[in-house]
Structure 1
Amino acid sequence: MMLVLCIGLLARLLHIARQPFWLDEALTFQRIHLSTGQLIADSNSNRHMPSYFLLLQLISQFSPANAMLRIPSALFGTLSVGMVFAIARRVGGRSAAIVAGLLMALSPLQVQYGQEARSYTLVTLLITITLWGLVRLAQNPARASLDMRHPDFDVCGWASYVFGTIGALDVLSDAAPWLIAANASLFLIWRSLRLEPSPDLRLGFRRNWLLSAAIILVCCVPFYAAILAASDGQMLHKFDWIPPLSWQNLKVAAKSAYLMRMAAVVRFSVLPTVVPLLGFLVAMLGAVGLWRMRGRLEGRVLLLGFAVLPLLLLAISLLKSMLLPRYILWSAAPFFVLAGIGAATLPRRILPVAATVLMLLCMVNLAPVYKTETKPRWDMAAAMLAAHVHPGDTVFTGDPNAPTMLAVLRPKGSVPIGTTALVTPQLDVALARWKQGSRVWAVNGRSALGQREDLDAFKGRIAALGTPTLEIPEGKEITILMFPAPNDAD
């Protein structure tokens, strides 16, 4: 287990600062530099729990480095690897644990979000803790049915489920579907007790189940009520940036979350892989593991933990698109457990070789994560503008969130661009200033998912500014055009 944990930690810490912030991380940076009251209000109005941002606010007091804000995600992601190992070992033995842990440790999507200043890996960790508790309850329903004062009462199982669920729900609302999966699992455990001769066991389990539900609701409902009140009933309208549901987007989500493919952060696509058969291999292992667990209660718990989230988001997406790889991130944990169980069906004599080969394939498959530009280089764009923008210039951004990116990612020691030039996403403002003698720097590039204007369309929209004298690409996603003032052009 320690070896697998070390692999997971190394994968997440390696080049953790290489990729610049993208929009979500830039908003994290801005939020944690608010006062505590403003942080809570801003989180609620944007449908986020404030807990993770309060944690990062505390951490930022010790180091202002942007990479430090990503360290908690790396640590939480590594601990999730350990929990997947523990669940698989409990259900399928050591061989299953090694394979499941390696898949979790070296999954490109898990590593990508383990290097991001957001709360997804913490939620994944907390849900794996609750999943471990549910698996434990499913393995001994009779102990789970005892009165909590009984010496044989399964306090570890129930405590892991209750406190892990509370923690996940109070960190990110993406954990809400876990309530469906968890309660469906508890129903199956309760139903299995019908074969027991004593009706007291079913009554005892139901009592413990209802008590746990009451504790979870009391600890979570007030926070969700605050978010609902702050959203003015417009929660779903704020998801308009998610690409519409399609067969292609469905494949992207499945490949990146479960089949070891690397996702592009600001484009709904997976990047080319150097090990094409790895995803097929993992899918086969998962299918074999599910078949092997088909008659066991723990297997049904794992299946619900894996399937409920993507199926629920798929159903919602028929009305309002909600299917994103990061929204189904935590459901990969039970899937990798099933894949580990599938691998454990191999003959014992070849298992060490098979696990070693799988680890090497996963490492080769992961290598492009550290080399490929998966996030737009707004840091390079900010540095270029900081060095060349003069007082009185205008910076026009095609992406309305670009001013945030340029402000957050400006070079250390430099003054904000907005103090020397006007930064605006409004073309009419930029045109008016240009006519008054201001140079215009036009920036085309995306900061997050959503509609993007390609460079030719962008040039057509700003054709009134004339012909640019400079065209500077900054990475794959961003291009900066410089238009001299009318007098200078003449």
Structure 2
Amino acid sequence: MAEGTSDSPLGRRRLLAPLLVILAGVALRVDRLGAKSLWIDEVITFEVAQRPFFSPLTRDGSVAGFCLGDTGPGPLAYGAEWLLMRVRPDEQLLRWPSAVFGAVGLVAMWLLLRSAVQDRRAGLTALLVWAFSASQINFAQDARGYALATALVTASLWLAGKSWQTGRWRWWWGAAGLHLVAFFVTPLSALAFGPLALAVSLGTRRGAISSAPARLIHGGGSVLAYLAVGGLWLVAWFPRAFYLDTADGHRSARRLWPTVEGWSTLTDLARQWARDAADIRPVPWLPGNGWWLTASAVTMLAALTAVGLAACLRRWPWNVLVIASCLAPVSLITVLSSSHLLGPRHLFWLQPIVLLCFAWGVEATLRRLSSHAGTAAAVVLASLIISGVTPRLLERRLTEKANWRGATEWLIEHASPGDLILPGPNSEIACLQHELRTHVGWTTYHIDSAPQHPLAQALAAADRLQPRPFVILDGVDRVDELESLVAAGRRVWLLTGFWGSTTRTADHWDWLSAHAVPVTSFPGEMAIGVWLIEPPPGQTEVSAF
């Protein structure tokens, strides 16, 4: 990607452009890092990171115990956050590791492109896409370990490429080692290692890689070593991650075989990606609101990636890597058909490979043009990409994932003594409690209205305890419970966050529409709505209790 040594004037000048792109990407990753409230997954990370690292007496009361049942980050991700929380339990500090590794991922991507792409202009254009990638910026500002895992997978690809180019196996074992670390950060990183090992085992048509027996020894040996070490974690993690505890104490397995629902999930995922790709924001100062600009950028990115994918069919062993990696998501979807692991963020390991295909597509296109025409085309393409993604980046900069801080401050201002706050199930109550504890300094009530604790008893207990401006109830979600609150003359505020909006039944929403009034909402990727149920006029408050 670059010519000349780094200590020569030519080398220094050629390093200037990628350095500026990397600095721009770093600035985007640290911008407003602590300004947004934590969303549910980050709240979980924040709470878990303050537990003891290991406790043999409790199941989920420690970091080690909790991560065995989490289908997202692994022990190294939680362990890194646990170490930081020993320094200072701070929300912004919680996100800094992701921002740092987002910057490391930029450098790793530059090294990969510099090694795998011959045309410097194509590599620089691809690096620009990576720097301005909304998903990569999101990973870097999200305390969930995806930025670290992506950086490790990207660096592993670079080391694997060095092994293929030089024939030195130490580079390959370095790649396998980084992949193993990524596996303990996020188990799904393993999906990118299989194609790599397959490519090494099959070898190259040309190049300096050694004999077929050596390839089998190193490729197969690395897989065995990978499974021997990672298998211990996988055996411990798999049952907890894929078996659910039911309410009656029994265990039920998630579906682990291809089903009709699996193909339905595949269709839903395709629709979700299509909606995301077509999520074009209007730009008022451009003709036609600028929709054509973003649409052109998305179309160009997809077309050049397809060109690169076709071009890499002639590259060995990259073709094995890319084809197997692109087929892996389909296998994942059919095997884990009804699991929630199918979110696009869990395909983080595929993004460096897709970007490499894009770079090869740009390279193949520029090769057909003259030097000056190719440079002009690269500049136009880079300008189109930046112009197309900037409106969305600007909007994301100011948009919360879930604005629980704003919702909490609004409730404190508008709720009255004796009011009841009913968040949605599990995640909503956790987010609300976190905001009250960390930004308001309250110790809130967490009252369970399960059958052994009738609603009337729970309310009476809440009223006897130390007064608070309002009382928060958890688990009150059935229509009959809501009706009893209305009959009791209590004013009720309902918060409908992401989980509440997806898990509540149709009869719940019918009842809510008939008895509650939508008061306000807090926009975001996971919008929060606030509904109010007023007691009937003249009814004595809490008369039923």
TM beyond 0.5: yes
Query: 1:289 — aligned with what?
Result: 308
Amino acid at match of 2:126: A
Q: Any conservation in 1 of the 2:192–2:350 contact (CA below 8 Å)? A: no
- Give yes or no for contact 1:134–1:185 (8 Å, CA) kept in 2: no
Query: What secondary structure, in the 3-state scheme, does the structure 2 residue paired with 1:20 have?
Result: coil
CA distance in 1, matches of 2:374, 2:218: 41
Q: Secondary structure at the match of 1:479?
A: strand
Residue in structure 1 matching 2:383, options 357, 360, 378: 360
Distance 1:459 1:318 in 2: 28
Measured after TM superposition, the shift of residue 281 of structure 1 is: 0.7
More deviation, 50-59/428-437: 428-437
Superposed CA deviations along residues 54-95 of structure 1, whole A, max 9, x for unmatched, are: 211222344443232222222222222222222222122222
Question: What's 2:202 paired with?
Answer: 188
Q: Measure how far apart 1:446 and its partner are.
A: 1.4
CA contact (8 A) 1:70 1:116 kept: yes
Question: Following TM superposition, by how much is the alpha carbon of 1:350 offset from its aligned partner in structure 2, in angstroms?
Answer: 3.5
Cα RMSD (Å) of the superposition? 3.6
Alignment correspondent of 2:472: 422
> Would the alpha carbon gap of residues 8 and 58 (structure 1) be closer, same or farther in structure 2, given more than 3 Å must change?
same
Match of 1:439 in 2: 491
Contact 2:492 2:534 (C-alpha < 8 Å) held by counterparts: yes
Task: Work out the CA distance in 1 between the residues paired with 2:351 and 2:374.
Answer: 23
Give me the whole-angstrom Cα distance separating, in 1, the residues matched to 2:49 and 2:340: 29
Aligned residue for 2:532, secondary structure, equals: strand
Q: State the partner residue of 2:285.
A: none
Which residue number in structure 2 is paired with residue 219 of structure 1? 229
1:46 pairs, out of 70, 86, 92, with 70
Asked if the contact 2:198–2:321 (Cα under 8 Å) also holds between the matched residues in 1, the reply is no
Identical counterparts, % of pairs? 19
Does residue 337 of structure 2 align to residue 313 of structure 1? no
- Go from structure 1 to structure 2 and tell me whether the alpha carbon gap of 1:382 and 1:321 turns closer, same or farther (over 3 Å shift): closer
TM superposition shift of 1:349: 1.7
Distance 1:453 1:243 in 2: 25
| Equivalent in 490, 502, 513 of residue 451 of structure 1 | 502
Rounded to whole Å, the distance in 2 between the matches of 1:474 and 1:457 is: 24
Aligned to 1:344: 363
Query: What is the rounded CA distance, in whole Å, between the counterparts of 2:485 and 2:85 in structure 1?
Result: 38
Q: Verify the 8 A CA contact 1:49 1:170 in the aligned structure 2.
A: yes
Distance, in Å, in 1 between the alignment partners of 2:81 and 2:292 is: 33
CA 467–120 in structure 1, closer or farther in 2 if over 3 Å, else same: closer
How far apart are the structure 1 equivalents of 2:263 and 2:121?
Answer: 39
Deviations 1:307-333 (A, max 9, x none): 143232344366767532112122111
Shift in CA distance, 79/242, structure 1 to aligned 2, threshold 3 Å: farther
- Residue 277 of structure 1 aligns with an amino acid whose one-letter code is S
Q: 1:301 to 1:350 in 2, by over 3 A?
A: farther
Stretches of structure 2 lacking an aligned partner (at least 5 in a row) = 1-17, 55-61, 245-251, 282-290, 447-467, 541-545
Supply the AA of the counterpart residue of 1:480: V
The unaligned stretches of length 5 or more in structure 1 are: 144-152, 264-271
Whether the 8 Å contact between 2:34 and 2:92 is mirrored in structure 1 is: yes
Question: What's the offset of the Cα at 1:104?
Answer: 1.2
Q: How many residues align?
A: 460
Residue 182 of structure 2: aligned partner: 168
Evaluate the alpha carbon distance shift between residue 123 and residue 261 of structure 1 in structure 2; reply closer, same or farther with a 3 A threshold.
farther
How big is each residue's C-alpha offset from its partner over 1:19-48, in whole Å with a ceiling of 9 and x where there is no partner? 432221221122112221211111112234
Match of 1:28 in 2: 45
Instruction: List aligned pairs for 1:203-352, cutoff 5 A.
Output: 203-231=213-241, 233-234=243-244, 237=254, 244-247=264-267, 249-253=269-273, 275-304=294-323, 306-316=325-335, 322-345=341-364, 346=366, 347=369, 348-352=371-375
Asked if 1:110 is matched to 2:123, the reply is: no
In the alignment, the residues of structure 1 paired with residue 101 and residue 113 of structure 2 have an alpha-carbon distance, to the nearest angstrom, of 18
Structure 2 residue 56 is the aligned partner of structure 1 residue 13: no
Give 1:248 deviation, angstroms.
5.6
Give the match for residue 269 of structure 1: none
Change (3 A) 1:186 1:314: same
Higher relative contact order (CA 8 A, sep 6+): 1
Larger Rg: 2
SS at match of 2:211: helix
Question: Residues 243 and 114 of structure 1: is their aligned pair in 2 closer, same or farther, counting only changes over 3 Å?
Answer: farther
Distance 2:443 2:140 in 1: 29
